[in-house]
Structures are given as structure tokens and as C-alpha cells.
Structure 1
Amino acid sequence: MDNLVLQCGCGQIKGRAIKINPADRTRVICYCKDCQAFAHALKASAQVLDEQGGTDIYQLPPARLQINQGLEQIRCLRLSEKGLYRWYAGCCNTPIGNTLSPRVPMIGLIHSFIFDPEREAKLGPVRACVNLRGATGQIPKSRLDAAPASGYIGKIMLKILGWKLGGLGRPNPLFSAKGEPLASPRILRPGETV
């Protein structure tokens, strides 16, 4: 297992993801409209989205995420009152990741926050392409064949259950012990930017 170097674009936020193993098989490309809206709101679509509007995400339990510098720079957006918590660097608008809630032990780290020169080897290949209906272009068949979405949701739900039972939901650097978000979420209106 390896550690993964994390850093925002300007270097004010630094951290690491610990105990990373390609065998975890939790790397996905998400093509949903909400992930696209998040990238556009931060004016980071060129750095985040692929040619078809996909976001490369590595899913891990919160206990494996450590922020060592710049915690005060972390901000949060939600696209609706009940939407995902979408975390970013307030200093430079680098997308950091997504969380469902403080009770769900999973963080989806966005590749723009992964600053490790050995990222590809440490994370392994993309295991699933999800939310395909939101794609803005034709996804190459070779990518879909290599990373089919079928069965992935069940697999990640089992992982989340294992993380919960294994106590990997805490500590969560993005939420307090009482479940309060580190930064008060701003509800983003359609088309609004940061």
C-alpha cells in the first residue's frame, strides 16, 4: 500500500491519502451533469473534465484522507439543499472531492487534487464509467469496455459497508465529530460561479 500526495493548484492546501492500493478498484469516471456543473462553477472545467465531460474520481474512506496544511482554505458547495457536499480550495478553486453526508464513509477525491507523480500506478485503472447519460460527447467504446458500469454500484456499496463496519468513517477531516461540515455549504444556483 502507498500514500498519495494531495495538493491544491496553488499549494496552500496539502495532504495525503494513506493506504492506497490499486486492488481497491474504486476509481471511476463520472459523467453526471452535477459533476460538470461543479467544475464549471469553479471555472475549472478545462482542468477537471475530459473530452466527454467526465470527472476522474478516486473513492476512499474518510479515515484515509489527511489534510496537513490549509484546512482553513477548504470551502463547500451544494447544488441543492440535499445535494452532495462538494469540497474545493477557496484559495485557487481547485476541486477537492465529494461526500454524500457525514454518515456515509466515502469521499470521492477529484483527480485535480491528486498531486502525486505516480498517481496512475498508485490508483490503477478506471474501474467504471458511470452516469453515462450526462456525457457531452461520444465515450470511446474501448473505455466503456474496459470500465463497465454494470455491477459497480453494488460493489461500491459493499465497500462502503465494509468501511463503516471497519470504523473508517472517522476521523473525517471534512466534518466535525458532531457531523458539522468543516465549511458552511453554499447552495449554488444554476449557472452561478464562485
Structure 2
Amino acid sequence: MDNLALQCRCGQIKGRAIKVNPADGTRVICYCKDCQAFAHALKAGAEVLDEQGGTDIYQLPPARLQIQQGLEQIRCLRLSEKGLYRWYAGCCNTPIGNSLAPRVPMIGLIHSFIVDPEREAKLGPVRACVNLRGATGQIPKSQLDAAPARGYVGKLMLKILVWKLSGQGRPNPLFSTKGQPLASPHILSPGEKL
């Protein structure tokens, strides 16, 4: 298992994901409109979204995420009152990742926060392309065949259960021990950009 170097664009936030390997996390490309809205709100669409509007995400348990510098720069936004917690660097608007809720032991790291030169080898191939209806262009068939969405949710739920039962939900660097987000979430209004 390897560590994965993490850093925002300007370098004020640095961290690492520990014990990373392709079998113990899940790498997906998400084409949902919400992931696209998050990237556009941060004016980071060009760096984050692929040609079809997809975001490359690596899902892992929170206990394996360590922020070593710049914790005070981390910000949070939500696209609605009950939407995902979407974390980003307040210093340079680099998207960091997504969380469902403090009690769900999973964080989806966005590739723009992963600066490790061996990223591809450490994360392995994309396992699923999800939320295909939100794609802004035709996704190549070869990509869909290599990373089918079929069965993805079941496999992810099993991983989340294992992570929960094995105590990998804590510590969570983005939430307090009482389940409060590190930064008070800003609820994005329609059409708003940061």
C-alpha cells in the first residue's frame, strides 16, 4: 500500500491519503450535473471536467485522509440544504472532494487535489462511469465497456459497510468528533459562482 500526495493549486493546503491501493478504494468518473455545477462554481471546469463533463474521483474512507497543512483554508459548499458536502481550497478554489454526511465513512477525492506523480499506478483504472445522463458529450464506448456502472452501487455500499465496521470512518479531518463540518457550508444559490 502506498501514500498519495495531495495539494491544492497554490500549495497552501497539503496532505496525503494513506494506504492507497486500487483494491481498497474505488475510482469512478461521475458525469452528474451536480459535480459539473461544483466545478463551474469554482471556475475550475477546465481543470476538473473531462471532454464529456466527467469528474475523476477516488473514493476512500476518511481515516485514510490526512491534511498536514492549511486546514484553515478548507471551505465547504452544498448545492442544496441536503446536498453533498463539497470541499474546496478557499485560497485558490481547488476542488478537494465530496462527502455524503459525517456518519457515512467515505470521501471522494477529486483528481485536481491529487498531485502524486504515480497517481495512475496507485489508484488503478477507473472502475465505473456513473450518472451517464449528465454527460455533456458522447462517452467513448471503449471507456464505458472498461468501466461499466452495473454493479457499482452494490460494491460501493459493501466497501462503505466494511469501512464503517472496521472503524475507518474516524478520524474524519473534515468533520469534528461531534459531526460538525470543519467549515460552515455555504449553500450555493442558483447561478452563483464563488
TM-score range, shorter chain: over 0.9
**Between the two proteins, what is the percent identity of the paired residues?**
88
CA distance in 2, matches of 1:134, 1:80: 18
Residues 11-160 of structure 1 aligned to structure 2 (within 5 Å): 11-24=11-24, 26-160=26-160
What is the aligned partner in structure 2 of residue 2 from structure 1? 2
Could you tell me whether the CA contact under 8 Å between 2:78 and 2:186 is conserved in 1? yes
Kindly state the Cα deviation for residue 24 of structure 1 after the two structures are TM-superposed.
Answer: 2.5
TM-score, normalised by the number of residues in structure 2: 0.99
Superposed CA offset, 1:12-63 (max 9, x none): 0000000001122500000000000000000000000000000000000000
TM-score, normalised by the number of residues in structure 1: 0.99
Kindly state the Cα deviation for residue 113 of structure 1 after the two structures are TM-superposed.
Answer: 0.2
* SS of structure 2 residue aligned to 1:112: helix
CA distance in 1, matches of 2:64, 2:25: 15
* SS of structure 1 residue aligned to 2:23: helix
Could you tell me whether the CA contact under 8 Å between 1:25 and 1:124 is conserved in 2? no
The runs of at least 4 consecutive aligned structure 1 residues that moved more than 3 Å come to none
What is the aligned partner in structure 1 of residue 192 from structure 2? 192
Superposed CA offset, 1:145-167 (max 9, x none): 00000000000000000000000
